[in-house]
Structure 1
């Protein structure tokens, strides 16, 4: 029998758990990170998986709706990812991680069981509700379990799995599609999600202050209004840009005007809710006055614009200008994935060894800009090394940037604000992803429309529309027309690369003051 004076043993803290439990948690979150970018059609590997999406579109006979499969995932990621910073505090790390995994797995399962394109789009939205949260929770858990010096290295290993998922998702998904059918490319992931779920659930038992609130209190504190208004804002902007630049509708068209007006209304409502109404807003106003979180968030958004622009249109250049197959065009993204993994590991190792991040950021952070400039100079007669390797500085440089700015962010915040700060940075990164893809697509379609009208004879409206909406059509055109279409695509994609270069340069400039405002990082490592 315990004596009256014997105290109850308190639960272990995150840095007090056993090495075995810690390794089990890491295995679970890293597997989840790999799966979150592995799906056969994701926002990060569109051309690597072109054959899979083509098979799905043919099966459902709805190829004109195929672009919304990726867009739905992006919208959900942008909208729901910031909530996980708050959920990790009120639900606990385990509860928030379980929520992210369940949504991601349910979405993947629904993709494999989809009976029409509408169901598939909805399933990808559900998957996105969890997919973005997986990365946010992984960052928070890593920050809990490790000191500042060690967490940068551990975080970098997670970046390796992210790069592997990007690089292997397309080829493996395509092989499974050819062998078993496209549904199994989704369904085969479910057992691995279950493994990730059990690894984290049974090992993630440490306690954090402020958790354990009642379900009723948790539900009251969720920022429903802000999330819905953010979804409405980004969705309306995407619809507006799609109608105006992809479908080519005029400014006087009612749907174009309505989507533009609705985006402004939703944006105003979002800001009002975040400033005056939400108990725990997904966009904390207090962070908007803090220099480091704002600069890191702006950098994340601009880096996302650069990455999405290049990821979508770099393979397009090879398919439409060089006339390679879709699978070969997608393979040109593989060096980028390899460099993401190596750059992430390099940054983590350097910070763990030397405890410095600013010089790395200044040195390697300019590489993505150089890569985008190299892409603008690509020609059909370019050296193969130029065509294959020009994307490599992009992946390596941005991997270093994302690792170093994350450490800059968490070291500038008190421990209690770290989860919310992580969600804040992820929110701006998500906005950059959605906005970057929308801007790149609008710029590309507008420039392509202009270039085709300039090159093709009058009365070619039907042909121009077909060329704009199908990259595969270019290879089937008569030689003279094909030459004109290839030149138009080359010029249009060059504009997208210029956009990527501009975003990357602005991101670099935004990061320069971060080290000046945040000097505490080195002190915590010495």
Structure 2
């Protein structure tokens, strides 16, 4: 039997795998993520950013297409689930990819995410009924959450903490661009070629993103490889399932109780509420006592900084999506503008988010700090929502178009600084899991923001309409107005005025709710301490190298002035192989460096 050499793989591979690996340029073999060539980095970034753009595009793609889709399938009452299903899947499966990045490797997890999103998008374009379309949106959402998480992890691998903020800021430009173009793109393509084309045209772009990442992600990470059987055993199936059922039950409860105005005694209200409580408790039990690799990472809950950052992510996500879904309605219903013009009022928000992300990254890159940046610009979202709350029917174009800019800019700064703060306070071994943990609460905040703000809006709108409308057939008219805002345009002058006044009160209630969320988020972030990013990165690298030396029995590595580029002596696996460094520390194998 041949004696293994330092060039042998850590796990057995098939002949096809060996041939494929041999086809790689020698410069890519054994390189750590910080040692990749500029060409490889550009290829990886192009792939993950293109995938992020498409995933973000699908977040806001559907609203402008709903009239056409509903017309085809004659099921307008189910149309809201097209957006909810995508968000629900994204929030539920996002944290799973933090674990998958460890057990499958970076390339494997990213590839899985892109394939799921592409298949779901293809299924949307080929759907023949509303039920299959909603299911396809759910499948696409499963992958979209993974795209956002794996892209953050991959960028975190390739750059130091100080550089990472700038690169993540550039990445957020693509996210903001995707979200900003989703509505106009969906409406334009639907008008020209039909709503199916808006989904199908994305498939070639997903293929390009998949090819770029699959070819270029071949760096090595420290850890211990796992077989396919071990990988499947470590996935937290029950945690994901119970979280999905609990979140879905909560959404159904909010929809039946407040959107449909059913009484508390109705079984359709009680049943989902009971299911939510039962499965949420079951989810907590699975995560704490059963799952070997829990998606929620309970260990994070014992650390103050990850908890505070996750709470901020939840509140910021809820605030963003509360405004995103209800800000255009002011212009469509209160000012009686077209749906296209109302949607364009979100464009300044997308542009300001992109600008804020790059600005935050640039400042952190220049200063190596994030605390002061967060303190100053973190209050901007609250100021922006105050401007929105003060809008009137006769407000000029400056307030109508520019009020939302501080909201987008400030929240972009917050999200960038909090991501870097989270990574700076975690050891390198917990980076992937920590990223998934933070993304979990951000996703739950997005779903919660839409669901809770919708419940608040519907409850207040119902109250205001009943105060004002007392004509014969009032109940039927009120229900029609609540189910479709376009009905307001069809009313007579007197009834239209009453409906618009009711919408003004209901919408401002939602804006006040969003203002409370963002102010609470600012307060939550105040105790988070500052760190010098260069020192934090050096400390992370030193901890990793010390753990590696203990595992291999090697002596201590001499100090280096550039620890971010120091070669590791720990066992390494390629980015497409799994490792368990994030959950169990770097384990030595007693062998030579695989580089």
TM over 0.5: yes
Shift of 1:525: 7.0
Shift of 1:75: 0.9
User: Structure 1's 45 and 188: CA in aligned 2 closer, same or farther, altered over 3 A?
Assistant: closer
2:89 to 54, 76, 94: 76
> Which residue matches 1:31?
50
**Conserved? CA contact 1:92–1:212, under 8 Å:** no
**Local SS of the residue matching 1:37:** helix
Query: Are 2:237 and 1:238 aligned?
Result: no
Identify the range of structure 1 (168-177 vs 134-143) with the bigger mean alpha-carbon deviation. Answer: 168-177
Shift of the alpha carbon at 1:8?
Answer: 3.2
Displacement of 1:427: 0.7
Q: Distance in 1 between matches of 2:116 and 2:37?
A: 29
Q: Does 1:378 align with 2:397?
A: no
Written as runs of structure 1 = structure 2, the 5 A alignment for 1:436-451 is 436-451=449-464
Identify which range, 443-452 or 354-363, moves more after superposition.
354-363
Q: Is the 8 A contact 2:369 2:531 kept in 1?
A: no
Is 2:168 the counterpart of 1:169?
no
How much has 1:45 moved relative to structure 2? 5.8
Q: Match for residue 8 of structure 1? A: 7
Distance 2:269 2:255 in 1: 9
1:143-162 matches, cutoff 5 A: 143-162=156-175
CA distance in 1, matches of 2:537, 2:228: 39
Alpha-carbon distance between aligned partners in 2 of 1:138 and 1:98, rounded to the nearest angstrom:
11
Mapped partners of 2:536, 2:275: distance in 1: 47
2:38 matched to which residue of 1?
19
In 1, distance between residues paired with 2:407 and 2:240? 32
The alpha carbon displacement at 1:212 in A equals 3.4
1:425-459 CA-to-partner distances (Å, cap 9, x unmatched) read 01111111111111100100000000000111165
Shift of 1:169: 2.2
**Structure 1 CA distance, aligned partners of 2:285 and 2:431?**
24
C-alpha separation in 1, matches of 2:126 and 2:413:
38
Which deviates the most, 489-498 or 7-16? Answer: 7-16
Q: Note the C-alpha offset of 1:6.
A: 8.1
Where in structure 2 are the equivalents of 1:330-369 lying within 5 Å?
A: 330-369=343-382
Comparing 176-185 and 357-366, the one that deviates more: 176-185
Matched positions, count: 515
User: Which residue in 2 is equivalent to 1:419?
Assistant: 432
1:258 to 255, 259, 271: 271
Determine the structure 1 residue equivalent to 2:103.
90
Aligned residue number for residue 294 of structure 2: 281
Seen in structure 2, the aligned counterparts of structure 1 residues 167 and 463 have a Cα distance that, compared at 3 Å, is same
Is 2:491 the counterpart of 1:491? Answer: no
Match among 477, 489, 501 for residue 515 of structure 2: 501
Report the Cα distance in structure 2 between the residues aligned to 1:212 and 1:134, rounded to whole angstroms: 23
Question: 2 CA distance for matches of 1:475 and 1:177?
Answer: 22
For 1:199, what is the secondary structure of its paired residue? helix
**RMSD (CA atoms):** 1.5
The alignment's TM-score, normalised by the length of structure 1, stands at: 0.96
The answer to whether the 8 Å contact 1:34/1:164 transfers is: yes
Which residue in 2 is equivalent to 1:308?
321
Most deviating of 163-172 and 139-148: 163-172
Task: Structure 1 unaligned segments of length 5 or more: list them.
Answer: none
Report the CA distance between 1:520 and its aligned residue: 5.1
Distance 1:520 1:233 in 2: 40
Contact 1:163 1:340 in 2 (8 A): yes
Report the counterpart of residue 475 of structure 1 in structure 2: 489
Task: Assess, with a 3 A threshold, how the Cα gap between structure 1 residues 188 and 296 changes in structure 2: closer, same or farther.
Answer: same
CA distance in 2, matches of 1:45, 1:395: 19
Q: What do the CA deviations read for 1:318-361 (whole angstroms, capped 9, x no partner)?
A: 11100001111000000000001101010011111111111110
Q: Contact 1:109 / 1:190 at 8 angstroms: preserved in 2?
A: yes
The equivalent of 1:290 in structure 2 is 303
Aligned to 1:271: 284
Q: Structure 2: give runs of 5+ residues left out of the alignment.
A: 9-28, 539-595
2: CA distance between counterparts of 1:6 and 1:129?
40
Contact 1:12–1:206 (CA<8 Å) still a contact in 2? yes
Shift of 1:168: 1.8
Query: Does the C-alpha gap of structure 1 residues 129 and 7 become closer, same or farther in structure 2, counting only changes over 3 Å?
Result: closer
Distance 1:489 1:442 in 2: 14
Q: For residues 215 and 456 of structure 1, what CA distance do their matches in structure 2 show? A: 64
Deviates more, 1:375-384 or 1:450-459: 450-459
- Change in 2 beyond 3 A, CA 1:503/1:335: same
Contact 1:90 1:210 in 2 (8 A): no
Distance 1:211 1:190, change over 3 A: farther
CA distance in 1 between counterparts of 2:222 and 2:248 reads 36
TM-score using structure 2 length: 0.85
Match of 1:178 in 2: 191
- Alignment partners' CA distance in 2, 1:476 and 1:188: 35
Partner Cα separation in structure 2 for residue 92 and residue 16 of structure 1: 18
1:461 alignment counterpart: 475
Q: Is the 8 A contact 1:92 1:211 kept in 2?
A: no
Provide the rounded CA distance (Å) in 2 between the counterparts of 1:204 and 1:448. Answer: 51
1:317–1:493 Cα contact (<8 Å) kept: yes
Rounded to whole Å, the distance in 1 between the matches of 2:34 and 2:186 is 38
Distance 1:53 1:506, change over 3 A: same
Question: What is the CA–CA distance in structure 1 between the aligned matches of 2:94 and 2:6, rounded to whole Å?
Answer: 40
- Contact kept? 2:61, 2:185, Cα under 8 Å: no
